[in-house]
Amino acid sequence: MKLSEKYVELLVFLLFVLISLLCIIIIILPTEMQETLKARSDHWNPIASFISIFVHANFEHLSGNILSFLSFGFLVYMINQKSNRKAFLTSLLLIVLFLPLIHGFLLTILLSSRTIVSCGLSIVVAGVIGLIVPSLCVFLRN
């Protein structure tokens, strides 16, 4: 394994840990603070759209999202690792950075007449699950 591959692997694992830890830290915050960090459809705010992925309604919501994020994330990572596909870190970063923004923007456009509150890692988990099919296709082609 080359040195750069070790750094990429370390960055992927650090990203998994950092996202999980941020979710756990935010659920410990007072409820009022958590409410202000959630994304709302009546006012699109890119920062709130991003931060809302770390906010969860309750412990069950948090544990389900983290378990799904880590299990599907590591599954897709291992598939990409076995097929020598090096773009997993880039794909994961794009999912974490842009899917919440797109989700928040679409939520605002489509549901601006009603106030919908959005929070949780679910949109990121859905993006990671979406990587399974292309990753498997690359893996099976090799």
pLDDT tens digits, residue range 41-64?
A: 777 788 888 888 899 989 999 999
pLDDT confidence band for 35 (50 / 70 / 90):
confident
Nearest to 105 by CA among 16, 44, 33: 44
- The two structure tokens encoding residue 102: 């797109």
- Give me the long-range contacts of 59-64 (CB less than 8 A, separation at least 24): 59/27, 61/120, 62/23, 62/24, 62/27
Over the stretch 74-102, which tens digit does the pLDDT of each residue have? 998 888 888 877 778 888 888 888 888 88
Q: What is the pLDDT of residue 64?
A: 94
Say which residue the tokens 């756990």 belong to.
Answer: 24
Amino acid identity for residue 81 in this structure: Q
pLDDT confidence band for 111 (50 / 70 / 90):
low
29: pLDDT strictly greater than 80:
yes
Phi, psi dihedrals of residue 43, rounded to the nearest 5°: -155, 110
1: pLDDT strictly greater than 60:
no
Rounded to whole angstroms, the Cα distance separating 57 from 62 reads 7
pLDDT confidence band for 18 (50 / 70 / 90):
very high
- The two structure tokens encoding residue 91: 């794909």
Q: What is the pLDDT of residue 4?
A: 80
Q: What is the mean pLDDT of residues 10-15?
A: 91
pTM to 2 decimals? 0.85
